[in-house]
Chain A
Amino acid sequence: SAVISQKPSRDICQRGTSLTIQCQVDSQVTMMFWYRQQPGQSLTLIATANQGSEATYESGFVIDKFPISRPNLTFSTLTVSNMSPEDSSIYLCSVARANYGYTFGSGTRLTVV
């Protein structure tokens, strides 16, 4: 299965600032997925990032708050903008592999103070 390097692994940020999370995949993939997992909760899809086109956002998530870049087939970034304490969560990137499900990055644990 794919190997995904995600960073930072954790961060503590001041409210009103922005944090960019990076994910690097060891092989080319068409789609990358960004999820949010609040403490003790399930995973919620934020958006799907395709190379060469704008990301597709799920209901409740908007580009101004969570801008995504996908400059090539192995890399993507998610920015959490103008953060508030409600954005404290774990953010995960993932890719799909036929018959092998989704592979997830190790996650970014974000705390906004």
Chain B
Amino acid sequence: GQQVMQIPQYQHVQEGEDFTTYCNSSTTLSNIQWYKQRPGGHPVFLIQLVKSGEVKKQKRLTFQFGEAKKNSSLHITATQTTDVGTYFCAGLLLKGAQKLVFGQGTRLTINP
């Protein structure tokens, strides 16, 4: 079946360091979405990328969608303790029923 692979599974950084998580789909996606889940919370939508090669920024967060619409990345510059949480990518399949497939998530912890 369709899979969305995400790495790394865990990342621990010092506050102020950068962080990147990568997402790769086995099939071409209609769009890719990113979510953040704080410990004990539910996933919260961050952004959606639709176009091939698209790049979007939200303050210190930069999101990219690959040219083939199969991979994506999230980069956080100069992490802060408020960035702690698990970041999930989720791909909306190009064909068939509307179904959002989540990656495994990257759990980010930060040493202040």
Chain A contact residues, CB within 8 Å of chain B: 1, 31, 33, 41-45, 48, 56, 59, 92, 96, 99-107
Any A CB within 8 A of the CB of B12: no
Per DSSP, chain B at the interface is: strand
What's the least CB distance linking A30 to chain B, in Å? Answer: 10
B32 to chain A, nearest CB (A): 10
Contact A42 B103 (CB under 8 A): yes
CB distance from B87 to the nearest CB of A (A): 11
A-B interface pairs (CB < 8 A), number: 50
Measured between beta carbons, the chain A residues less than 8 angstroms from B101 are: 45
The residue in chain A whose Cβ has the minimal distance to the Cβ of B45 is A101
Query: B99 is contacted by which of A1, A48, A101, A105 (Cβ under 8 Å)?
Result: A48
28 contacts between A and B (CB under 8 A): A1-B45, A33-B100, A41-B104, A42-B102, A42-B105, A43-B43, A43-B102, A44-B102, A45-B99, A48-B97, A59-B1, A92-B43, A96-B98, A96-B100, A99-B48, A100-B45, A100-B48, A101-B33, A101-B45, A101-B47, A101-B48, A102-B35, A102-B43, A102-B45, A102-B100, A103-B45, A106-B42, A107-B42
Please tell me if B88 contacts chain A, counting CB pairs below 8 Å: yes
- Considering the chains assembled together, what is the distance between the CA atoms of A59 and B41 in angstroms? 26
> Contacts A42-B104, A43-B88; is A101 near B35 (CB within 8 Å)?
yes
Nearest residue, chain A, Cβ from B1: A59
Task: Contact check, A31 vs B98: say whether CB atoms are below 8 A apart.
Answer: yes
A106 and B32 CA atoms in complex are apart in Å by 22
12 more A-B contacts (CB under 8 A) besides A42-B104, A43-B90, A106-B41?
A1-B45, A33-B100, A45-B100, A56-B97, A96-B100, A99-B48, A101-B45, A101-B48, A102-B90, A102-B100, A105-B42, A107-B42
